[in-house]
Amino acid sequence: MALPIMAVLVFFLVLPIVMIVTVSFWQATEFSIIPAFDLENYEFLFGSNVTYRVFFNTFKYAFITWVFTLGIGFTVAYFLAFHIRSLTWQIVLFLLCTIPFWTSNIIRMISWIPFLGRNGIANSTLISWGVIDEPLDWLLFSDFAVILAFVHLYTLFMVVPIFNTMMRIDKSLIEAARDAGASGAQILWNVIIPLTKPGIMIGTIFVVTLVMGDFITVRFMSGSQSANVGRLISNDIALLAYPSASATAVVLLLTVLIVIGIMLRFVDIRKEL
């Protein structure tokens, strides 16, 4: 029964990875790529300062996005799970939070233009309030815009697993804590947060991997002024430098897998579904 899935994953996941690893040792001329066993691509990659800067940037995006998505996602899930009392409303509001996930990311990025542009809503509002005299230039096409878009796109990935775990918390535990004299903050810190950890971990895995593997959000929202590893790869691809793109891809994949490996130590995904 599992054979078809196995076949799809072998052909479109395992083989591509094998291919990328292989090609990462090949040589490239301007027009073609030549089979070889050559460490040149890796030497160039690790010998260049750009690589370290770009990897640092990638981690920076991942970390800042993680902080914001976790803060917002946890608050929203907490509100839905513990403050909304009827199941119907919980489902309705939860669906409202998830619907954007099923629409196009690219259009959701484009839709920030009228907000953040030089003559956009944010600037004209701030000017009319007298907060600033001149339009801010750093709203669109900047790191700020990149992070904003990431938070906008990926907060759902925090809300869903955290909400899912919270809904399974036995309400009598919270009553017991209250009977024992715990304040609201103590219940949150000592009961709810520890019990929500698996959901937080799953959300974290989603957000971190999506941000680390992204290239299109960074390219679009930074106006090509910032770079992360994904963009490094896509730039190489655009130059048809497949071996060098592959070497970067291998390093990126290893980085992501190590990060995930560390996180999976804290959570058993199959038990949490």
Partner 1 sequence: MEPRPRSFYVLSAFFALFLLFLYGPTITIAILSFQGPGGGLTFPMRGTSLHWFRDLFEQQAVGDIWGSFRRSFALGLMVMVTTVILSVMGGLAFRKRFKGSSILFYLIITSLVIPSILISLGVGLIFSQSGLNVHWSTSGFGSQLTWTLPFGLLIMFAVFNRFDKSYEEAARDLGATSWQTLRHVVLPIIGPSLIGVALFGFTLSYDEFARTLLTSGSYNTLPLEIFGMTTNVTTPVLYALGTLTTVFSLLMIGLFLCLALWSTRRKARAGSDAGKGMV
Please, what sign has the CA dihedral across residues 131, 136, 140, 143?
Answer: negative
Please enumerate in sequence order all residues whose Cβ is within 8 A of that of 203, keeping only pairs 6 or more positions apart, or say none.
69, 70, 73, 157, 158, 159, 160, 161, 162
Q: Least distance in Å: CB of 124 to partner 1?
A: 7
CB of 152 to partner 1, least distance (A): 7
What per-residue string of b and e applies to 116-137 under the rule 16 or more CB within 10 Å gives b?
bbeebebbeeeeeeeeeeeebe
Residue 62 contacts residue 208 (beta carbons within 8 Å)? yes
Q: How far is CA 231 from CA 5, 47, 120, in A?
A: 30, 18, 27
Q: Assess contact for 259 and 208: CB atoms under 8 A.
A: yes
- For residue 229, the minimal CB distance to partner 1 (Å) is 8
Rounded to 10°, the helix 49-78/229-238 angle is 130
Residue closer to partner 1 (CB basis): 47 or 85: 85
The least CB distance from residue 222 to partner 1, in Å, is 13
Smallest gap from Cβ 271 to partner 1, in A, equals 9
Q: How far apart are the first and last CA of the chain?
A: 21
CB of 126 to partner 1, least distance (A): 14
Nearer Cβ to partner 1 (19/173): 19
Nearer to partner 1, 14 or 67 (CB): 14
Three-state DSSP state, 10: helix
By beta-carbon proximity to partner 1, the closer residue of 16 and 63 is: 16
